[in-house]
């Protein structure tokens, strides 16, 4: 069977800090729930593997597809490196309240402690209507002793680098950097396939049962980068109808596509799957090798298998913005 652009059922996650923007901004059906903090758009995390919802492969999950189609899904170089493991996790995050201040381990520590990948990630801001901020790194060089002293006397937040967020802003967050998404943010997150998070501080909040959430200070201290962050926000120059690179690292490359006319992309040289995240507008995506088109709206994500080389993007009713992700 010929492969085609694949859309997956979102996996919704209730969070103490979640809201309802995924429904109000993107039209996702949250079944009346008002504290959905995350929509996992494309996941291979154990217990939360994404399931196809369009076309002949509907009902199959991502893991099953890779096991059957192997490099046709992920690309030769990716399959050689990761085998049947899909290396990325794509989320939308709705922060109706501040997320905990946290840090993620790198690959070496995560493998040693959890048998998992580390977590390097990036964020793209999708809404600035409530003038939100976020935390990325420290505003000064510090050390473990100073960090603990500030934590114990209640002044820890004085050490953090706060960034004002505007729609379209991009933040790269390598493993080891302390960070937090603050209230009012709506974020597209691209990250390694990992659910390993160390909470450092959670504002003394209680869950619905009156219990404080688990903290992981003992695990955090030897993975934190205590140096002053040099550049938290990624700068880029927008352009029409051509890819503009946002982030390129060993774990993923991301571009933004701002498209107001039909655009063809040749993915053959990538030798990789390509993930498309629609952040504004409506777009028809097609492939010349198969009779298959799919329309996606803002807030939705598709996976373009590596076997599809020539892919077209055509805006519907005005310009669209897409994030293009690959290895």
- What Å distances lie between residue 220 and 103, 105, 148, 175, 224, CA to CA? 7, 8, 11, 11, 6
Backbone angles phi, psi at 85, to 5 degrees: -90, 125
Contacts of 116 (CB under 8 A, 6+ apart): 110, 194, 195, 196
**Cα gap 273→73, rounded to integer Å:** 6
Closest by Cα among 77, 84, 60, 45 to 7: 60
Contact 20, 30 (CB under 8 A): yes
Marked catalytic residue, from 15, 113, 177, 199:
199
Q: Is 15 a catalytic residue?
A: no
Active site (catalytic) residues: 199
């Amino acid at each position: 069977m010929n492969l085609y652009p694949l859309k997956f059922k979102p996996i919704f996650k209730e969070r103490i800090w979640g809201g309802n923007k995924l429904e109000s901004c993107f039209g996702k059906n949250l079944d009346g729930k008002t504290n959905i903090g995350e929509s996992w758009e494309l996941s291979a995390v154990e217990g939360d593997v994404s399931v196809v919802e369009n076309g002949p492969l509907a009902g199959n999950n991502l893991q099953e597809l890779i096991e059957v189609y192997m490099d046709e899904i992920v690309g030769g170089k990716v399959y050689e490196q990761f085998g049947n493991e899909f290396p990325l996790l794509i989320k939308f995050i709705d922060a109706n309240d501040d997320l905990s201040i946290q840090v993620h381990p790198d690959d070496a520590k995560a493998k040693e402690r959890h048998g998992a990948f580390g977590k390097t990630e990036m964020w793209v801001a999708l809404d600035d209507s409530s003038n939100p901020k976020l935390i990325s790194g420290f505003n000064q060089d510090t050390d473990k002793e100073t960090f603990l002293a500030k934590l114990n006397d209640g002044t820890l937040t004085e050490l953090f680098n706060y960034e004002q967020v505007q729609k379209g802003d991009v933040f790269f967050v390598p493993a080891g950097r302390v960070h937090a998404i603050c209230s009012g943010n709506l974020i597209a997150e691209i990250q390694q396939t990992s659910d390993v998070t160390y909470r450092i501080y959670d504002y003394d909040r209680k869950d619905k049962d009156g219990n404080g959430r688990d903290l992981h200070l003992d695990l955090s201290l030897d993975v934190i980068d205590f140096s002053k962050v040099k550049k938290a926000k990624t700068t880029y120059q927008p352009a029409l109808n051509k890819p503009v690179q946002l982030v390129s690292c060993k774990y993923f490359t991301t571009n933004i596509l701002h498209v107001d006319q039909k655009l063809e992309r040749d993915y053959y040289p990538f030798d990789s799957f390509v993930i498309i995240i629609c952040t504004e507008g409506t777009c028809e995506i097609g492939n010349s090798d198969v009779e298959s088109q799919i329309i996606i709206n803002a807030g939705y994500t598709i996976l373009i298998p590596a076997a599809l080389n020539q892919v077209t993007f055509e805006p519907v009713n005005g310009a669209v913005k897409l994030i293009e992700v690959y290895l």
